[in-house]
Amino acid sequence: MIRPSEIKSVEDIGTLENNPVKMIRTIGGLWVATGKPRGKREDEALAAGSHPAIVKHNVEKMYGASYQPLMAKSEGAIEPKVVDHSSQLAKSLIDKGYTLFSVQADAAVDFVLSKSGIEVLKHEALVKGESLEFQELKPKAIEHAHEAIKNDATRSIVMAAIDKASELGKDQIVCKNVTYKVK
């Protein structure tokens, strides 16, 4: 249960079976979509995660055409594109319940590693020319984790980045002036 003192913001994001769906952002950074699924009398959590685009993606995936997202506030606004790269995760991370998504908004691509809907690690990249460029590719956000998990997380994000670069038609991944050829 989320207490009112833990809520940073609430906004409408769509409807489910003609009932409103709201996105709650907590002070700690968790995003929760709430609504009333078919046959329910009370609102409940529909999906939760570390990024609103991932939460919306999961609601759309779970409820299909029953969920109708609101139109973007600005006609020119484009919803971020979310791709599930969890299949690229090392078995050790899958077994521990981690997920990996890329979230692309224009030229920015975030690779988000989560566990139980909580962001564990995020690497930011930019699409530049023929490259997908990272400023840094180190698992500093999980310094408390066992070394094998850190290595598996970085390896998994690199594999997801290769998939993303190929999807975007890019030939290489660049990180701190080191170039990795994709094709």
User: What is the pLDDT at residue 156?
Assistant: 83
The verdict on residue 119 lying in a domain is yes
Check whether residue 94 and residue 64 sit in a common domain: no
Number of domains making up the chain: 2
* Contact present, 126 and 108 (Cβ < 8 Å): yes
pLDDT < 50: residue spans in the chain: 140-144
pTM for the model: 0.69
The verdict on residue 169 lying in a domain is yes
Boundary-marking domain end, from 69, 93, 119: 69
Q: What is the sign of the dihedral through the CA atoms of 5, 7, 8 and 11?
A: negative
* Contact present, 67 and 47 (Cβ < 8 Å): no
Angstrom distance (rounded) from CA 104 to CA 170: 14
Angstrom distance (rounded) from CA 66 to CA 75: 23
Check whether residue 129 and residue 108 sit in a common domain: yes
Angstrom distance (rounded) from CA 71 to CA 148: 43
The verdict on residue 38 lying in a domain is yes
Which domain covers residue 88, as residue numbers?
Answer: 81-181
